[in-house]
Amino acid sequence: GQQVMQIPQYQHVQEGEDFTTYCNSSTTLSNIQWYKQRPGGHPVFLIQLVKSGEVKKQKRLTFQFGEAKKNSSLHITATQTTDVGTYFCAEPYGGSQGNLIFGKGTKLSVKP
């Protein structure tokens, strides 16, 4: 069945270092979404990517959608302690409009 693989599962960085999480799908996607979940909190929508090769930036966060629309990445430049949390990618679920299948997430910890 449809799967979304996200790596790494955990990432520990020193404050100021960069961080990247990758998402790979078993299917060609119409779009992909990214969410952030702070410790003890709930997932919050960050961004949606739609076009092949699309790159979007939000301050220190850079999101990319692969040319073949089967993979995506989130890169954080110069991490801060406020970046701590779990980052999830999510892709549309098969033929079910509106449904998402979530990756298992990458848990980021930042050492001050």
Q: Radius of gyration of the chain from Cα atoms?
A: 14
Report how far residue 34's alpha carbon sits from residue 89's, in angstroms, rounded to the nearest whole number.
Answer: 4
Residue number, 19 or 88, with CB nearest to another protein: 88
For another protein, give the closer residue by CB, 66 or 103.
103
Report in angstroms how near the CB of residue 11 gets to another protein at its nearest.
Answer: 14
Q: List contacts with another protein (CB under 8 A).
A: 6, 9, 30-31, 33, 41-45, 48, 50, 88, 90, 92-93, 96-105
Least separation, in Å, of the C-beta of 109 and another protein? 15
Q: Report yes or no: 5 and 24 within 8 Å, Cβ to Cβ.
A: yes
Nearer to another protein by C-beta: 16 or 53? 53
Residue whose token pair is 């955990």:
10
Report in angstroms how near the CB of residue 29 gets to another protein at its nearest.
10
In 3-state terms the chain splits into helix, strand, coil percentages (rounded to 5) of 5, 55, 45
